[in-house]
Amino acid sequence: MSLSGKTAIITGSTSGIGLAIARALGNEGANVMLNGFGDPAAIARVKAEIAAANAGRVDYHGADMSKPAEIADLVAKTNATFGSVDIVVNNAGIQFVAPVEKFPTEKWDAIIAINLSSAFHTIHHALPLMKARKWGRIINISSAHGLVASAEKTAYVAAKHGILGLTKSVALEASNTGVTCNAICPGWVLTPLVQQQIDARAKAQGVTVKQANDALLGEKQPQLQFTTPEQIAALAVFLCSDAASNMQGTQLVSDGGWTAQ
């Protein structure tokens, strides 16, 4: 399978799951527009690394995904640079953990903006471009927390449930246009977003990082292992394939049994 001639925007692709998806789509020959925060030298290295392994071209746009005008520019610049926007992976995300009574309003607003509203904005701008070319793939990175809840994660759980609703609604509107819109729901994936939570638990409970790690997995996942970023990336590649062309408004779950309980 090849995605050569297609162009993919992957939001939040300077780290973790997004970076793995950018590498995987690049390996399939797609042009890649990277996005996310980070050290400019590290981003330049990632850009060069993907370009070296990839038949397509690679660029970077530093849009802050909490800012609608910057998101509009991300889509417009990608279209201008590569000539199309065929694949959008809405992946950028942040986490904050606190009881609802103590949850800071600015953290709520930031999580809803980055983890949910940003996907509305990318889709709003990219869907017309995809429809015009009669082919497109929109992939929204939700979570096991899109299907079930955990305490002290109100904003994240609301955003991840919301993105599944957005996915279904866009899927209905995109049907019979050549564009599909689906979601991926990972369980625990060991990335900086989760490592921060493990480190915070170790500190709060006075246990080692290894003990906090094992407790985090044991609490939620019958399979006591992390899903890897590369496994999530393989699902994204699958959703871009012809084999997935009749998947519309659904989700692929890789959560070690978390939501089977």
Catalytic residues: 156
- Residue pair 237/25 in contact by the 8 Å Cβ criterion: yes
Q: Is 65 helix (H, G, I), strand (E, B) or coil?
A: coil
CA distance 216 to 205: 12
Which residue, among 212, 135, 216, has the nearest Cα to 177 in the 3D structure? 135
Among 33, 94, 138, 239, binds ligand NAD (CB under 6 A): 94
Task: Name which of 35 and 154 has its Cβ closer to ligand NAD.
Answer: 35
Backbone angles phi, psi at 136, to 5 degrees: -170, 155
Q: Tokens 């990972």 identify what position?
A: 186
- Residue pair 218/224 in contact by the 8 Å Cβ criterion: yes
Assess 157 for contact with ligand NAD (CB under 6 A).
no
Contacting range for ligand NAD; rule: CB under 6 A; set: 30-38, 53-61, 126-134, 174-182: 30-38
Q: Torsion over CA of 77, 78, 79 and 83, rounded to 10 degrees?
A: 120
Assess 74 for contact with ligand NAD (CB under 6 A).
no
- Residue pair 235/166 in contact by the 8 Å Cβ criterion: no
Assess 18 for contact with ligand NAD (CB under 6 A).
yes
Q: Mask of contacts with ligand NAD, 161-200, x by CB under 6 A?
A: -------------------------x-xx-xxxx------
Task: Name which of 55 and 193 has its Cβ closer to ligand NAD.
Answer: 193
Task: Name which of 95 and 177 has its Cβ closer to ligand NAD.
Answer: 95
Among 50, 114, 166, 239, binds ligand NAD (CB under 6 A): 114
In this structure, what token pair is assigned to residue 113? 């903006």
Residues making contact with ligand NAD (CB under 6 A):
12-18, 35-38, 64-66, 91-94, 114-115, 141, 143, 186, 188-189, 191-194
